[in-house]
Structure 1
C-alpha cells in the first residue's frame, strides 16, 4: 500500500493520483485549487511511462505549493490576450495617444511575430529573438523597445489576473536604445527663427515654443481664457490631440480617411494635461505678452473677414476659420520656418530642449525650472539631465548674447520693445557673473557687486595687513571649482558684529593653566566667518582638548561684553568640574 493510501487502496480527497489508462499511457491528476464554481480544480497530465508522469505530477505539486500554478479558464494565446488587453483593459483607462501606441505595437508587431504562442509557453528567449528580428528587418531600436514595453505591460496584467505566474517580458532583455544627444539651438539661431516667424501667421506660436519651452500640444490647446494679460501669466491646462478621422462618405471616395472630403473627426480636440505638474502657471516676458496682444488683434480682424465661415472656439492659435491647428500641419510649418530662416533642421521638440537649456544657463533654480517645464517631483532631476544641455556652442552663444536673449538685439527688432544695445559687454553676461571677495585665504561669492565691494572695503579696514580684493567668476566655474557650490552664493549683504571673547584653560586636577595666549579679545566678524561669528549676546562652551595632557578649555563669545563676562564664570565652573570628572561629560564642542 502506497503512503497516504486508505486501507482499501483509495487516495484521500484532494490527493494526486497516477494510473495506467486503457490507451496505454500513464495519467496523473493533481488538485491545485478550487474553480470559480467551487468545484476542485484538477489538472490532468499524460505521459508514456510511469516515471515520466510521476515526475510531472511532482513538479506540478511543487508549483501548486509555491502558488505558481496559473489560473484555470480560457487557454490564452498571446494574440487573444493582447487583443483582449488592448481593447477591453487598456483602451478605457489610458489616453488616446497611449492607446494608439499600444495598438501599433500589438497589431503591427507582436501579433504577426509572436501571436501564435500559448501564453504560458512564451519564454524570454522568444521575445529576445523577436526584438532582434525586428531590428534586422529595419525597425529602429526605439520601435523595438516600445514593443517590449507594450508586451511587458500587457503580460503584467496577465500575471495580476492569474493567467500567468511569471512575466517573461520582465526577464527578457529589452532592446538597448542609445539616447541621441540633442544640440539646442543657439541664441543666434533662435533670433533668426523669431525674425522669420514675424513674417508668418501665428508668430507668437513659435516665440512661445522657443522662449517658454511649451510642448506642441500645450501650445495648440491653449485658449484665450488661459492668458492673463494683467498678471502676464499663461496657465497651461490642456493639450491638443491629434485628430483621427473616419470616412463620412461611406468609404466611396477612394481616399484615405484623412483626405476624405466628408471626413469626420472621431476624437475630442483636447484633453487635460497628463499630470498635476503639467497644469501650471508660467510667467511670460513683457515682450511676449505684447506680441500676444498683437496676435489677438490680428485674430479679431481675421474673424471679421471670415464672417460666417468662422467657428469660434476660443483657441489662441487657429486656422483662418477659427478651427484649432492640426498638429501635423503645425509640424510642417515648423519645417518651413527652419528652411526659410536658414537654420539647421531639427525636431519641433528641440525648441523645448533649447528653452530648458537657456534656463540652466541663466541660473534659474531647479524648482522654478520644474514649474516652467511641467516636470513632476521625483522625475524632475532625470528630466533636467535629459533636456538641459551644456554644449560648448550653447555656452559660447549664451555668454555673448544672454543680456538681450530674445528681444535685445537688432536681429529681432520687429518685436515690440526690442532695442539693440550699443554698449560693449563682458564676455560673460552680468546675469552669469559672480563677485568673489578674496579675504585673506577665504573666498566669499556675492551675487551683487555692491555687496562684495562693501565687504572688501570694510574687511580691508579691519585687517589692513591682509589681502582684500574682488575676483569676477562665472557661475559655471564657481559651481565646479568651489567647495560650497551654488549654495554658498550670497544674495544679500551679510551681517557684521564686534564679537567679544574670553578663554581659560584648566589642567586635569582643576587648576587654571598659566596663559600662553590672550585670554580676552574682541574682533569685528562677518557672519560668513563661522569659526568666530555669533549674533548672540553671550554663548559659552567647555571642551576637552586633544593630546596627552587632556586640558579643558572654557570659551565664551558674544556681542555684549558684560554678558560675556557674566557667562565666563559659569563656563569656568563647568570646566573645573569637567577637568576633575572626565567621565561625567561627553567630549562635544557645541555652544
Structure 2
C-alpha cells in the first residue's frame, strides 16, 4: 500500500507507489483553463524526489516556475519571438537587425532545449562566430538579440533565468570618431555649393540631421519668416520584395523591375525627441532660398515628368532620393573637396562637436540634435583640440593672471 508523507489537498506530497517508485506532486500555480497546475516527479530514491519537490516549491515561491508541457527548443522560441513579438514591437530596421542575428542563434544554439541553455553555450557561439570571420560587433548584436528574446521568455514563464545576462560577449574596440575641423567643413561647403542640392550637405554638417530626417524634409517644414526648420518625419530605408511573382529571374527583390516597397514612405521618429524645431543660421536661410529657386527651374525643365511630392531635396524630376544614391553623392563630395574619407553619419558627430565648442548647454544640444538621453549625447560630442586649447588658455589666464610668465 502506498505510503504518503504529505497531504495532497493542494499541498505538496511525497509517497511510495505500488510501482516501486517514489512520487512527488506539487501545485505551482493555475493553468490557463483555471485548473491547478500540479506537477509530478518520480524516482526510485525518496531523497531525489524530496529534492525535486523542494526545487519546485522554491521556484513557485520565487515566481520562476516554467510553463508545463514539453519545453521548446531555442530555435522554436526565438522564431516565435521574432515573427510574432518583435515584428509588432520594433521598427523595420530594428527587426532586420534581429533577423540577421537570429540566423546565428539558430545555427549555433537552436537545437538546445530552452531551459537547458547555459551561458557557456552562448559564449561558445560568440567564439565560433569570430573564428568564422564575424566581427566582435556582429557577435555583440547577436548577444543583444538573444538577451532580449530570452528576457521575454522569462517574463512569459518559458524560462526560469536568462543565461544571456551572465554570458560575456566579446570586447569591442571602439574607434574614436574624428569630426571634421573648420578647414574641412569650409572645403565641403565650397564644393557642395557648386552642385545641386547643396543645402542637403550643409544641413547635415551644420545641423546634424540624420540621413532619414534630411531625405524626409518637405518644403512645408521650412519657415523662412521665423528662420526655422521642423523635423516631423523621417524616410526609412526601403525593404523590397518581388512584384513580379518571382518571374523576373532576379535573386533580390530590390533588383526586380516591378519591385514593391514593404515599408511606408515616411514614418515618425522613433522617439518624441526626434520631432523637433531647429533654428536656421542666417546664411543657411539664404542658401535655402536659392535652392528653392533652382528647384523651381528644374520643375519647369522637367514639365510633365515632374513628380510633385514637395520634397526639399529631390531628383531632377521631383522624386524622392534613394538612400544608396544619397550615400554615393556624399562619397563623391568628399573626393571632390579633397577631404579624408568618412561616414555620412560623421557629419552628425561634427555638428554635435560644434555645439560643444560653442559652449551650448547639454539640454539645448539634446533638443537640437534630437537625442532622447544624455547617454546618447556622450557618444556624439567630442572634445577636440579647439576646446582643449580654449580650456588651457582660460586656466592659464586664471592662474597666471597677474604674472607675465613663470617665475
2:131 — aligned with what?
A: 136
Q: Would you say 1:103 and 2:99 are equivalent positions?
A: yes
Q: Larger relative CO (CA 8 A, sep 6+): 1 or 2?
A: 2
CA offset at residue 13 of structure 1?
Answer: 4.8
1:159 partner SS:
helix
Report the TM-score when normalising by structure 2: 0.90
Matched, 1:114 2:30: no
Deviation at 1:72, TM superposition (A): 2.5
Tell me whether 1:342 sits opposite 2:338 in the alignment: yes
Segments of 4+ moved more than 6 angstroms = none
Matches within 5 A, 1:148-163: 148-163=143-158
- Any idea what the Cα deviations from partners look like across 1:343-389, whole Å, max 9, x if unmatched? 1111101111111111211222323222211122xx22x33432222
| Equivalent pair of 1:18/1:54 in contact (CA under 8 Å) | no
1:248–1:260 contact (8 Å) kept in structure 2:
yes
1:297 aligns with 2:310: no
Residues 17 and 296 of structure 1: CA distance in aligned 2, closer, same or farther (over 3 Å): same
Q: CA RMSD in A?
A: 2.4
5+ residue gaps, structure 1? 400-473, 484-591
Task: Report how far residue 21 of structure 1 moved.
Answer: 6.5
Match for residue 363 of structure 1 among 359, 365, 374: 359
Q: 2:13 aligns with which of 16, 37, 41?
A: 16
- Distance 1:5-1:352 versus aligned 2 partners, 3 A rule: closer
Q: Aligned equivalents of 1:227 and 1:5: distance in 2?
A: 77
1:33 alignment partner, SS class:
strand
Tell me, yes or no, if structure 1 residue 172 matches structure 2 residue 158.
no
CA contact (8 A) 1:21 1:27 kept: no
- Within 1, Cα distance between the matches of 2:67 and 2:242? 43
Aligned to 1:478: 394
The C-alpha deviation readout for 1:292-331, integer Å capped at 9, x for no partner, is 1111111122222222222211110112222211112211
- Relative to structure 1, the CA distance from residue 145 to residue 236 in structure 2 (aligned partners, 3 Å threshold; closer, same or farther) is same
> What are structure 2's unaligned runs of at least 5 residues?
400-407
How far is 1:204 from its partner?
A: 0.7
Question: Aligned partners of 2:244, 2:361: CA distance in 1, in Å?
Answer: 55
The answer to whether residue 29 in structure 2 is matched with residue 33 in structure 1 is yes
- Normalised by the length of structure 1, the TM-score is 0.63
SS of the residue 1:230 aligns to: coil
2:230 corresponds to which of 216, 230, 235: 235
Q: 1 or 2, which has the higher helix percentage?
A: 2
Q: Of the candidates 281, 287, 290, which is equivalent to residue 285 of structure 1?
A: 281
Match of 1:383 among 366, 369, 376: 376
- In the TM superposition, 1:251-262 aligns within 5 A as 251-255=246-250, 256-262=252-258
- Say which SS state the counterpart of residue 17 (structure 1) adopts: strand
